């Protein structure tokens, strides 16, 4: 029997942006420095700053870079970004005026 997984995160709290995770976990304590991380990722310090300040999203390209440099694979970075984006979109998009196509047939 499969058990459903429940998140321990409060559903009213937005998932963290991957840039916040980088800032708080990876760069905490100053090792590596922001310049070292940017160089390792092959990006400019300005690009890294945009990510850390949550102005830039983690793209597939950036996820591959982060996953390789930090050794945890790209999937986790894309999942973090997707969870962050989806949480905000579900609260921003007004679905009340949208028409549902292909409604499921009523159960008999």
- The domain ranges of the chain are 18-91
The predicted-structure confidence for 18-28, as pLDDT tens digits, reads as follows: 999 999 999 99
CA dihedral 41, 43, 48, 50 (to 10 degrees): -140
At 48-64, the pLDDT tens digits run 999 999 999 999 999 99
Are 35 and 52 a contacting pair, CB within 8 Å?
A: no
Among residues 44, 64, 52, 43, the alpha carbon closest in space to that of 24 is found at: 52
Name the CATH superfamily, with its identifier, for domain 18-91.
Answer: lambda repressor-like DNA-binding domains (1.10.260.40)
């Amino acid at each position: 029997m499969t058990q459903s997984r429940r998140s321990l995160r409060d559903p009213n709290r937005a998932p963290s942006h991957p840039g916040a995770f980088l800032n708080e976990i990876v760069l905490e304590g100053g090792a590596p420095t922001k310049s070292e991380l940017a160089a390792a990722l092959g990006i400019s310090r300005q690009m890294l700053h945009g990510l850390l300040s949550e102005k830039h999203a983690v793209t597939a390209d950036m996820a591959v870079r982060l996953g390789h440099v930090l050794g945890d694979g790209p999937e986790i970075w894309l999942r973090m970004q997707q969870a962050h984006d989806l949480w905000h979109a579900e609260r921003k998009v007004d679905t009340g005026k949208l028409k549902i196509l292909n409604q499921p047939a009523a159960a008999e």
